Amino acid sequence: MSVLANNNRKVCLRLAMRTIRANRTRSVFLCLSVMLVSLLYMAVFYTADAVYHSYLLQDQLEYGSASHIVFDWLTEHQADRISRHDKVKSTVELHSIGILSDELLEYRTIRMAAADQDYAESVSAVPQEGHMPEKEGEIALDTMTLDSLGIPHRTGTAVRLDWGDNEGNRQTEEFILCGWWDSESVHTESCAWITPAHADKLRDRSGEEESITLGVMLYHPEDLEAQAEEIVKSLGLGDVTYTTNLAYNSARIDTADQRASGYLFTAIFVVAGGFLLIYNIMAVSLEERVSLLSSMKAMGMTPFQAGLFSSLYALLLCIPSVPSGMAAGFVIFYRISGDIVEGLTGIALEQGLVTAFPFLAASLFSVLTAWAGCFFPTCRMNGWMPAKIREFLNREYKGRKKRKRGDLTAWGMAWRMMAVGRRSLIASVCSFLAAALVLGGSYIRYISYDSEYYARETYVSDYSFLDASCAGDYQRYNERAGNLTEETAETIRSCPEVAEYGEFLTHEVDLTADDALRGTVVDFYNETDGYYGNVTRKESMSGQPGWIAGLEKLEATGQYRSVLIGADGLVMDYVLFYEPLDGTFDAEKFASGKYVLSVGAASAEGISSAPAGSSVVIGGRTFTVMAAVEDWGLVPAGRNSRASEFSLNYVLPSHALRELYPGLNIRQIMVNVKDGEARQFEQRISALDRHKGIVTERKTDRIREFQQSAASSVAVEMFTGILLLFISILGFLNVMMTKILSRRKEFALYQSLGMEKRQIRKVVFFEGVIHGAICAAVLPFAGAALWYGMASYYDSPFAYISNNDWAVIYQYSPLPLFITACIIFMVSVTVPQLCLRHTERESVVERMRYRE
């Protein structure tokens, strides 16, 4: 006989289809299980993909352009040559004539350029209010620029702008504001759009050539640096400058990958839970499947055909289940992934950002899990001889070798039945363990986020009102903006709901240090600090040349820039957030206006600012330094000038600062509101908004964002844990129901021998309790694993990946495990009783005839 005999595959397909139809209930259960598993996979992979792209989008936003490479300072000819390069797919052009040169914009680069819709779209600079300039004299700007310059958000506003042409020659021009857009606070570059005709006119007047910025999209956006170099070299454009998109930077991609991979880790539990559920359902009907296998192998089915039959069975179940599960998962997470991702990264995920990865990964994993769950219960038997399979089927209950003699009790009978159906029980136990670990871990992570701690460390006041010119990360405070007027301050201060009030004023001046102060500061920064290795503190600042220049100016001339901070009321809580580095604070004395607080840093050897007891001359008046306080860095909001990159700052009462420099505007107001009166306060301040030049920050908003971020960071894991628990319960239900329903003949036999229904129910009750106890027994182990595992997790850097992870105080809670245990016992006690009552509807004789 030929070993190479033809093995028919079609018969395996037919058998698989008939098997599915022969037991519709089990097939439906299996389809639902596969669907659930597919839904879970879709959720995990879609969210991981969304997180990955969101972090890259964040990088792209930081970069400020959607283009892969941006070439700068090009001529028309150069731009044209690059556009025609065979690596270049498409380009957008910015024809700029100069840069806004107002020193209030020193942290940002605002290019004055001919309006170009394509380029504007590539850098998210399309007006959202008003329109692009259409007539000569019109200009469109972003809101951050408007706020920095103190220009109201109102079309038709006259705007006077200083700008420098491409050779640096300064010019002034007047425009009419025709539109504006909200730019991201991380953008350090923006555009000031004027009409092309106006741009030509200004360029002709300045006599300078326009410079072209070219945004390039490549066919294959990998290794952008190398491609940019190649383009430049191949075209002989050696002196051309370019930047590459951060979103394609390999280090950034690795970081995004790392952050997304945390979600993929959850997929391991999905694999385990999904496999166990399907395996469990298959294991319950093992005898039937093995009997079929025995018959088929006796007829001459080869091991390959037997394996193919199991595999096709699984694949046929996947056909209706996987697409519907994936569709359900996609629908759910398309809606909520955006919220999750925005909570994590602060970036609104682009709706419509759907890639192939989640679909491919989810379908592959779903099919593999379903296949494994169907294949493995009988896979080892595929190669067995038919006689061995029959031996397995006919195996008798052997029981323990040493048997106790004595009365048989209900408990004893129940205990003996534990030998039957061990596989499916073990599968249930493993499934509950997986669910407990995921759900328990995610719950602990969630409750460990401490919003009170977060609020305590970041916000002293319930409300903070900022002058819009200092609301952004790259905005220099405009002392002349004056959006927080005295009237506004009085309106806020006089609200009856206000419990505490405080103001920040700031003013930059140049001061002269005496020899003592000069020596103190210079010595401090020339010290070697172990924190930085073997370099001095000054050397550690080598990446900030402006700071170095300021220190050296102090050393050489004694002159330095100082930011004078006027502080009153509530804001003193911020000022004195940390204990003074030197001296002690006396509120009454400080209020007299004769004292100042110096701001700096400290080491074991000394401090970096004027010490307590020393004197400082400000505006012709001599003040005594009461204490030196730590530079807390949080407030006031916004940046000071570049000249103050190195500065020695002083805090004095607002009235004292106003006396020295009359007409100073308020930079920031801080308010605490009486308990329970926030709503009324909100009504009173409802008219204060950004378009009036005031930005309102609420501690409650920040806490809510923090809580949202916390929820987002655990959302997928918790959802997975809940679904795994649901899967475990389904599997356990299946075990408990089958245990009773498949033994109706046995129970009928007991009754026929004289056992009362009450006695049978007692046995079944004890069986349920034992099952429940075995499944629940795994929960303390899960609890112990979580106890040690989560503590280790919070000791590792993995716990501190997203922005708010620092605000965590580890809290352990076994609540999910407790709930799981309750559900297990409820199911194990009630379900068998209900099934038993169901079987008792038939008579003893009818049940005795039942073929199991």
Partner 1 sequence: MDIIARIENVKKYYGSGESMVRALDGVDLEIEKGRFTMLVGASGSGKTTLLNLLGGQDKPTEGRIFVEGTRIDTLGEEALSVYRRNKIGFIYQNFNLIPMLTVEENILFPLELGNEKPDRGFFDELVGILGLKDRLDALPGELSGGQRQQTAIARALITRPSLVLADEPTGNLDRKSGQNVLGLLKMMNGKYHQTIVMITHDLDIAQMADRIIRIEDGKAEDKGMRGKAGLDGRMHDVGAGK
Binding site for partner 1 (CB under 8 A): 1-3, 5-8, 10-11, 15, 18-19, 21-22, 292, 294-305, 383-388
CB of 365 to partner 1, least distance (A): 30
> Nearer to partner 1 by C-beta: 82 or 317?
317
> Nearer to partner 1 by C-beta: 217 or 292?
292
CB of 280 to partner 1, least distance (A): 23
Q: Scan for tokens 């499947």, then name that residue.
A: 289
> Nearer to partner 1 by C-beta: 5 or 753?
5
CB of 6 to partner 1, least distance (A): 4
How open is the CA angle 305-310-315, to the nearest 5 degrees?
115
Q: Scan for tokens 């999910």, then name that residue.
A: 816
Burial class (CB in 10 A: 0-12, 13-18, 19+), 758: exposed
Contact yes or no for 660/619 (Cβ under 8 A): yes
Of the candidates 296, 277, 312, 386, the one whose C-alpha atom is nearest the C-alpha of residue 13 is 312
Q: Strand (E) positions, 687-840?
A: 694-698
CB of 15 to partner 1, least distance (A): 7
The backbone torsions φ and ψ at residue 647, rounded to the nearest 5 degrees and listed phi first, read -150, 155
For residue 478, the Cα-to-chain-centroid distance in whole angstroms is 34
CB of 348 to partner 1, least distance (A): 54
CA atoms of 98 and 116, how far apart (whole Å): 16
> Nearer to partner 1 by C-beta: 21 or 402?
21
CB of 289 to partner 1, least distance (A): 12
> Nearer to partner 1 by C-beta: 293 or 730?
293
CB of 269 to partner 1, least distance (A): 36
Of the candidates 705, 687, 704, the one whose C-alpha atom is nearest the C-alpha of residue 696 is 687
CB of 738 to partner 1, least distance (A): 19
> Nearer to partner 1 by C-beta: 13 or 253?
13
How open is the CA angle 622-626-631, to the nearest 5 degrees?
105
CB of 388 to partner 1, least distance (A): 7
CB of 846 to partner 1, least distance (A): 17
Q: Strand (E) positions, 197-308?
A: 211-218, 241-244
Q: Strand (E) positions, 751-824?
A: none
> Nearer to partner 1 by C-beta: 18 or 405?
18
For residue 142, the Cα-to-chain-centroid distance in whole angstroms is 28
> Nearer to partner 1 by C-beta: 394 or 584?
394
CA atoms of 709 and 346, how far apart (whole Å): 9
Of the candidates 580, 613, 601, the one whose C-alpha atom is nearest the C-alpha of residue 527 is 601
Contact yes or no for 697/464 (Cβ under 8 A): yes
What DSSP letter does each residue of 538-602 carry, written as one string?
Answer: HHHTTT-HHHHHHHHHHHHHSEEEEEEEEEEETHHHHHTSS--SEE---HHHHHTTSEEEEEE-B
> Nearer to partner 1 by C-beta: 146 or 296?
296
> Nearer to partner 1 by C-beta: 8 or 355?
8
Classify the C-alpha dihedral 720-724-725-729 as positive or negative.
positive
CB of 745 to partner 1, least distance (A): 17
> Nearer to partner 1 by C-beta: 302 or 324?
302
Query: In 75-142, which ranges are continuous DSSP H helix?
Result: 76-83, 117-122
Which residues, including other chains, have CB under 8 Å from residue 463's CB and lie 6 or more apart? Answer: 669, 670, 671, 672, 673, 681, 685, 696, 697, 698, 699
CB of 393 to partner 1, least distance (A): 11
> Nearer to partner 1 by C-beta: 250 or 295?
295
Buried b (16+ CB within 10 A) or exposed e, 808-842: beeeeebebbeebbebbbebbbebbeebbeebbee
